[in-house]
Amino acid sequence: MEREHAAAVSIEGLRKTVTVGFRRRRVEILKGVDLAVREGETVGLLGPNGAGKTTTLKIALGLMRPSAGTARLGVAGLHEVGYLPENAYFYDYLSGRELLGLCARLFGLSRSARDERIVEALREVGLEEAAGTQLRKYSKGMLQRIGIAQALINDPRLILLDEPMTGLDPIGRVEVKRIIQRLREEGRTVLFNSHILADVGELCSHVAIMRSGEVVWRGPVEDAVPSGGGSLEDFFVQVVTEGAVEPESAESGSPGVTL
Amino acid sequence: MSRAFAIAANTFRETIRDRILLVILVFALAMIVASLWLASISLGQGARLMQDFGLVAVSGFGVIVAVFVSAGLVRKEIDKRTVFIIFSKPVGRGEFIAGKFLGLSATMAIVIFGMTVFLFLLVWAVAREPSGWLLLAGGFIYLQVLVVMAVTIFFSTFASPILAAVLGLCVFAAGQLSHNVLSLTQLGDSAALQGLSWVVFLVVPNFSAVSLAPVVVGEQVADWSTIGGWGGYLVAYAVIMLGLSWLVFRRKEF
């Protein structure tokens, strides 16, 4: 039971400022993000474009450095994390199996573990038959699924997905939703960004809403969808445009890895 | 280090599957074959001319391939955002740089030694007197190419691929000329010019001194301790440039 309540992601006071343009104008992308994701939760990170969702994930993964604050992963570092970037591009000269082999080697898996995990990951995303096909011949939906497979190759406890439904046709969306649903049922922690609120409402246990570099609301999906009527979309628009709802205070998690 | 080898294997696969490499290689082999024409008009110096011209072709094409491939090696991963896949896994920036370098080194080994062996067989078929030093000269060209690759990768960590390629070629050219420039300035009176030429001589890799072409064609006698020393110099230079690349790259955000 203890593990269920441990923080898988703990972000406190996260700030990021970048300089842009010839005159090196300073732009604050993140203005003090506080967010805690507990183990076993499936959290949808919502927000309009430019709210700072992707930057938050990148800092948590160490792809960017914070200007202030901390982003801690309550797992054993990147060894236990799977990540699917937004509009992911993979080495298109590789086959699906070769890509997974490369990713497994980057996680330091032994040859036998690699072979086992590649078969499992391909099965999990339903791409066994296309395993030997070069990625340049994959459809958008297949690429997204192989992207999820590479995120699962290390059998991670924490999975971060950046816009996993973007650009997919309805069938592709259903396939990806099924995978996320299964990850949730397996008790893995999933944090994903999305603009498709219906999917978030369907898949997530919790929602966090970002606006202008801050988390302005975080809570269970049920609290965002009033039983008396209304939808997650209405609630999201209300929070983003009016900011009328007080944010839930982020809880600090268990000791983890400071990135 | 196993992660660096995984990246190296992938880089090797990427470059070897690139058809432009095959096109350049075929063109280079055609240039080497063209040395037959030089041999036919050389009045008894056929083997010497073929080896001299052939080694220039091996070096020239080797450097061109190395510079243009290595200039885009790191930047392409950033532009195509495959770095997200790599660095969201427990991969260090140094492992990435080392892996990219090792992978391209393996490809260049095939390119350089393929061309050198082809030249050796051509000289043997035509003149029946290929020098065994020809193969060692190919080895030294390979070491020079590794240095040019390391220099270009260093430039590519902060410059665009085009600029990195131009700078890489400039360093190669300066390395070919630095010894002569130093000798020339020592003849003059300008202390400032002499000092500047010393600085350039020390900073850029000294390629003119490490060529084995004069040994191959019998103009110089080989000295193993000197050959070993220059080989060590080239390896050390490449390692230092890769270290500098890591210093720049480890600060990069994606």
How far is it, in rounded angstroms, from Cα A73 to Cα A254? 9
How far is it, in rounded angstroms, from Cα B157 to Cα B247? 10
How far is it, in rounded angstroms, from Cα A129 to Cα A131? 6
Q: What is the pLDDT of residues A101-144, one digit of tens each?
A: 999 999 999 999 999 999 999 998 989 999 999 999 999 889 99
Q: Tell me which amino acid residue A84 is.
A: L
How far is it, in rounded angstroms, from Cα B211 to Cα A255? 58
Kindly list the residues from chain B whose CB atom is less than 8 angstroms away from the CB atom of residue A89: 80-82
| pLDDT given at position A251 | 42
Half-sphere exposure at residue A58, Cβ-oriented, CA atoms within 13 angstroms: 20
pLDDT surpasses 90 at A12: yes
| pLDDT given at position B103 | 97
> Within 10 A of B194 (CB to CB), how many other CB atoms are there?
15
Q: Which member of B7, B17, B253 has the closest CB to residue A63?
A: B253
Task: Output the six-digit token pair for A158.
Answer: 């924490």
Task: Output the six-digit token pair for A216.
Answer: 């302005």
Tell which wins on pLDDT, A128 or B195.
A128
Q: What is the pLDDT of residues A19-38, one digit of tens each?
A: 988 888 999 999 999 999 99
Specify if B254 maps to a domain: no
Find the residue in B nearest to A76 (Cα).
B90
Kindly list the residues from chain B whose CB atom is less than 8 angstroms away from the CB atom of residue A77: 90
Q: Which member of A88, A90, A103 has the closest CB to residue B89?
A: A103
Give helix A140-152 / helix A111-124 axis angle, nearest 10°. Answer: 140
Of A114-128, A198-212, B216-230, the one with minimum mean pLDDT is B216-230
Question: For every residue of B120-162, which 3-state class applies, written as one string?
Answer: HHHHHHHHCCCCCHHHHHHHHHHHHHHHHHHHHHHHHCCCCHH
Specify if B117 maps to a domain: yes
Mean pLDDT of all residues in chain A?
87
Q: Is residue A205 very low, low, confident or very high in pLDDT (cuts 50, 70, 90)?
A: very high
Residue A83 distance to chain B (closest CA, Å): 7
Residue of A19, A91, A144, A162 to mutate, interface with B, max B Cβ within 10 Å: A91
User: Does the beta carbon of B80 lie under 8 angstroms from any beta carbon of chain A?
Assistant: yes
Specify if B182 maps to a domain: yes
Q: Is residue A68 very low, low, confident or very high in pLDDT (cuts 50, 70, 90)?
A: very high
Residue B141 distance to chain A (closest CA, Å): 30
| pLDDT given at position A227 | 66
SS3 A218: strand
Kindly list the residues from chain B whose CB atom is less than 8 angstroms away from the CB atom of residue A191: none
Q: What is the pLDDT of residues A147-157, one digit of tens each?
A: 999 999 999 99
- On whether the CB atoms of residues A13 and A30 are closer than 8 A, the answer is no
Are the Cβ atoms of B88 and A98 closer than 8 angstroms? no
Q: Which domain holds residue B36?
A: 2-249
Are the Cβ atoms of B82 and A91 closer than 8 angstroms? yes
Mean pLDDT of all residues in chain B?
89
Q: What is the pLDDT of residues B104-158, one digit of tens each?
A: 999 999 999 999 999 999 888 887 776 778 888 899 999 999 999 999 999 999 9
Q: What is the pLDDT of residues B157-190, one digit of tens each?
A: 999 999 999 999 999 999 988 888 888 888 888 8
Find the residue in A nearest to B93 (Cα).
A63
Q: What is the pLDDT of residues B89-117, one digit of tens each?
A: 999 999 999 999 999 999 999 999 999 99
Closest CA to B116 of B30, B27, B55, B34: B55
Left, alpha or beta for A88 (phi > 0: left; psi -120 to 50: alpha)? beta
For the segment A171-199, the average pLDDT, to the nearest whole number, is 91
ipTM: 0.85
User: Does the beta carbon of A110 lie under 8 angstroms from any beta carbon of chain B?
Assistant: no
How far is it, in rounded angstroms, from Cα A13 to Cα A18? 17
DSSP A66-107: -SEEEEEESSSGGGGEEEE-TT----TTSBHHHHHHHHHHHT
Distances (CA, A) of B34 to A24, A225, B47, B173, B242: 54, 77, 13, 24, 36
User: Does the beta carbon of B91 lie under 8 angstroms from any beta carbon of chain A?
Assistant: yes
Angle at CA of residue A26, ends A57 and A12, nearest 5°: 35
User: Does the beta carbon of B10 lie under 8 angstroms from any beta carbon of chain A?
Assistant: yes
Are the Cβ atoms of B6 and A61 closer than 8 angstroms? no
For the segment B202-214, the average pLDDT, to the nearest whole number, is 81
Q: What are the extents of the domains in chain A?
A: 1-72+158-164+207-259
Specify if B240 maps to a domain: yes
Find the residue in A nearest to B4 (Cα).
A106
Find the residue in B nearest to A85 (Cα).
B84
For the segment A77-100, the average pLDDT, to the nearest whole number, is 92
Are the Cβ atoms of A90 and B10 closer than 8 angstroms? no
User: Does the beta carbon of B19 lie under 8 angstroms from any beta carbon of chain A?
Assistant: no
pLDDT surpasses 70 at A3: no
- On whether the CB atoms of residues B37 and B131 are closer than 8 A, the answer is no
| pLDDT given at position A2 | 45
Kindly list the residues from chain B whose CB atom is less than 8 angstroms away from the CB atom of residue A150: 85
Task: Output the six-digit token pair for B58.
Answer: 């091996």
| pLDDT given at position A250 | 42
Q: Which member of B14, B83, B89 has the closest CB to residue A78?
A: B89
Specify if B139 maps to a domain: yes
pLDDT surpasses 70 at B62: yes
pLDDT surpasses 80 at B64: yes
pLDDT surpasses 80 at A5: no
Q: Which member of A63, A94, A98 has the closest CB to residue B88?
A: A63
